[in-house]
Amino acid sequence: MTKTFMNLWIYLYPLPALCFFYTHWSKLEGSNFALFLIFAPVLYGYIMPGIAVNVLKKWKFNTKFRLGDYYAHHGFKISANINTSFFLTSYAVSLNNLSLAQKVTLVISTACVQGFIIWWHDTILIKLGKLELKNVLVNDRMSPEEKAYAYAPVSFSIMGASFATSALFALEYLTEHAQVSSLELILVVVAGFVGISLPATIAFGALESIARRKPKV
């Protein structure tokens, strides 16, 4: 049952989810913002995990339909997951009329939802043998729960926070510049990719640095 659920989540969920999010946000905030929400994390999901998995060999996905050692649709999978977290914390409010306190609340809420969902997601993948970790944060004596706990809550919470923050900045820019060119939109998406990547990369690097300093048992 768990394996079937995870296969549906990983392979079936991303496409209809992203179609729904594009339609939802296009109606509320415009198609340019909807495209940003989808493609900034798509860019992140292919480039950063691609480097970590296929170049640095920090973990490996033991599944079908792969590009090297990660999912062929990895970017779209990550985009669907992080957009789910963002939608759950923002669908009931108008993003253009938020106070500073509401924006901070939205960022923190997205961080919490993303951190919990993907922590749970990775714990199950490790249990099923679909995710193999090869970094200094884990060892063979650790349970799947301990392995996921070593990185997921912090890394994915920060990813959620940086995505929500980038989204709010992007919306402000796209609202002020209603008629952006295709090139401008691409640059906004790339800026969003950087905004997601830097905090998440720094967080994971910090976790590894702390792990290296711990005395080995």
Is residue 151 within 8 A of residue 145, CB to CB? The reply is no
Is residue 89 within 8 A of residue 113, CB to CB? The reply is yes
pLDDT in tens, 7-19: 999 999 999 999 9
Where along the chain do its domains lie?
2-212
Residue 217: pLDDT band by 50, 70, 90 thresholds? low
Q: Is the pLDDT of residue 25 over 80?
A: yes
Share of the chain above pLDDT 70, in %: 98
pLDDT in tens, 192-214: 999 999 998 998 888 888 878 77
Q: Is the pLDDT of residue 216 over 70?
A: no
pLDDT in tens, 60-94: 888 888 888 888 999 999 999 999 999 999 987 88
Residue-level pLDDT at 171: 95
Q: What is the 3-state secondary structure (H, E, C) of the chain?
A: CHHHHHHHHHHHCHHHHHHHHHHHHHHHHCHHHHHHHHHHHHHHHHHHHHHHHHHCCCEEECCCCEECCEECCHHHHHHHHHHHHHHHHHCCCCHHHCCHHHHHHHHHHHHHHHHHHHHHHHHHHHHCCCEEECCCCCCCCCCHHHHHHCCHHHHHHHHHHHHHHHHHHHHHHHHHCCCCCHHHHHHHHHHHHHHHHHHHHHHHHHHHHHHHHCCCC
* pTM exceeding 0.85: yes
Q: What are the phi and psi torsion angles at 23 (to 5°)?
A: -65, -45
Residue-level pLDDT at 215: 62
